Amino acid sequence: MQLTVNGKSYDVNVPSDMPILWVIRDKLGLMGTKFGCGAAQCGACTVHLDGQGIRSCVAPVSRAEGKEIVTIEGLNDTLSKPLMAAWTEIDVPQCGYCQTGQIMAAAVLLRDNNNPTDQDIDNAMSGNICRCATYQRIRKAIHLAAELKKSSS
């Protein structure tokens, strides 16, 4: 099966119902994306499929054929730079486990909404669970990332 991940083309020999998460971690060695629940409950495994946030633990790899997967390793600069700067500035992560998913979900929000309100952040992020409850810092960091993104463009 032909896959495009972070702009690179891969030929993988896997069953068509293997979750995308397994393929990117175990076959392609891209370990940034995390396994949390395996049941679409927590958001730790969020990646982008043709720009849309999906939970890769339940999405069969057949869904990605002919489409573009982007993982946290390949997030483009316009989004990754402000997010990284804001996350560092606010010192968001505690254990860090959920943060890939948080950032990939936040990236979709920032791409689609230049001025996210607290309500927009709730709407976009309430499905991403953080066991360490870093929610307030995530909220702050998204506001900051939105500012940084605007000022750099």
**Chain positions contacting ligand FES, by CB under 6 A:** 35-38, 40-45, 55, 57, 93-99, 130-132, 134
The reply to whether 79 sits near other proteins by the rule CB under 8 A is no
The answer to whether the beta carbons of residues 101 and 69 sit under 8 Å apart is no
Selected binder of other proteins within 36, 53, 82, 93 (CB under 8 A): 53
- Residue 76 in tokens: 């483009």
The reply to whether 43 sits near other proteins by the rule CB under 8 A is yes
Minimum gap (Å) between residue 142 Cβ and ligand FES: 15
Selected binder of other proteins within 16, 117, 123, 136 (CB under 8 A): 123
Nearer to other proteins, 9 or 144 (CB): 144
- Residue 77 in tokens: 């600069």
- Rounded Cα distance between 6 and 3, Å, is 10
Selected binder of other proteins within 88, 114, 117, 126 (CB under 8 A): 126
Selected binder of other proteins within 11, 29, 39, 77 (CB under 8 A): 39
Q: Which does 54 bind (CB under 5 to 8 A by kind): ligand FES, other proteins, none?
A: other proteins
Selected binder of other proteins within 124, 130, 141, 145 (CB under 8 A): 124
- How many helices and strands (H and E) does the chain possess? 5, 5
- Which residue shows structure tokens 């990646």? 47
- Rounded Cα distance between 152 and 97, Å, is 29
- Other beta carbons within 10 angstroms of residue 72's beta carbon come to 22
3-class secondary structure, 146:
helix
> Which candidate, 3, 141, 149, 138, places its Cα nearest to that of 70?
3
Task: List residues binding other proteins (CB under 8 A).
Answer: 39-41, 43, 46, 52-55, 58-60, 63, 104-105, 108-109, 112-113, 120, 122-124, 126-128
